[in-house]
Amino acid sequence: MAETLLHAEDLGKTYGTIARTVALKDVSFDLQAGEFASIIGQSGSGKSTLLNLIGLLDTPTTGRVVLNGHDTAAANRRQRAALRNDFIGFVFQFHYLLPEFSVLENVLMPGRIAGVSTADLRPRAEEVLRLLGLEGLEGKGANDLSGGQKQRVAIARALMNRPALVLADEPTGNLDTANTKAVYQLFRELNGELGTAFMIVTHDRSVAQQTDRILEIRDGRLLQDVRNSYVRAGLQGEAELDEELRPAAEGEPAPTV
């Protein structure tokens, strides 16, 4: 049986005390280990708020997040940081690389800050850089990379702690079509090879349809939560229907039997 990696229960978030914005309301779902899912919705619908809550970057106003069996409701800031570090990797639209540092240093940095020695980090760094097709670029300055390469370095950095879950917030929002495709392909490969679960926030339905499960947020609520095989089957059904119902064009020769 698949194991539950993330349990989100009645999550709600209200910002502000005087001018109150209800950004999220009663959102519940479970994510199994190794799932490849997306969160879709229009701008302002609450996607980033949800991602911040399940990534333990922010605390909910109501409800709770259970991460790999750890109920985080009562966790303090330090405990939340430790859980984040143990289980989650983040990829953002803007990569937040340190421009003055090399590719390798950028990938090593979070581990170094956590007090791990470079000697201990290095084999893993080399492994993830190879996995992401960045070998040979270790010594290059982050500023000298293309947009697509920078995002690959950011993904490599997110994988350094072997996260069970990668949370990505519009990870390709800043990339062209070719690099967007490459990044999603890479996510898929990592999902297949390492069993890493993904939750990818996007406002782009065509991107969401490349994932196995789509959680759609509207006005802060979970509008639907569908397995993408159903979505695909639905679309295919529609296409077939279109074909059947399409009236023959005038003057078109009658089909030969």
Contact between 94 and ligand ADP (CB under 6 A)? no
Contact between 55 and ligand ADP (CB under 6 A)? no
Comparing C-alpha atoms, which of 178, 177, 186 is closest to residue 153? Answer: 186
Say which residues have a Cβ less than 8 Å from residue 167's Cβ, sequence separation at least 6. Answer: 51, 54, 55, 88, 89, 90, 91, 199, 201
Strand order in the sheet with 88-92: 88-92, 165-169, 197-202, 36-40, 213-218, 221-227
Of 130 and 218, the one with the shorter C-beta distance to ligand ADP is 218
Of 142 and 199, the one with the shorter C-beta distance to ligand ADP is 199
* Tally of CB atoms within 10 A around 256: 4
Contact between 41 and ligand ADP (CB under 6 A)? yes
Contact between 218 and ligand ADP (CB under 6 A)? no
Contact 33, 196 (CB under 8 A): no
* Tally of CB atoms within 10 A around 133: 13
Please give the size of the binding site for ligand ADP, defined by CB under 6 A. Answer: 12
Which region among 40-48, 115-123, 153-161, 249-257 touches ligand ADP (by CB under 6 A)? 40-48
Contact between 49 and ligand ADP (CB under 6 A)? yes
Residue 109 token pair: 């940095």
Which region among 39-47, 73-81, 89-97, 150-158 touches ligand ADP (by CB under 6 A)? 39-47
Q: Name which position in 3, 44, 135, 147 contacts ligand ADP (CB under 6 A).
A: 44
* Contact residues for ligand ADP, defined by CB under 6 A: 15-16, 21, 23, 41, 43-49
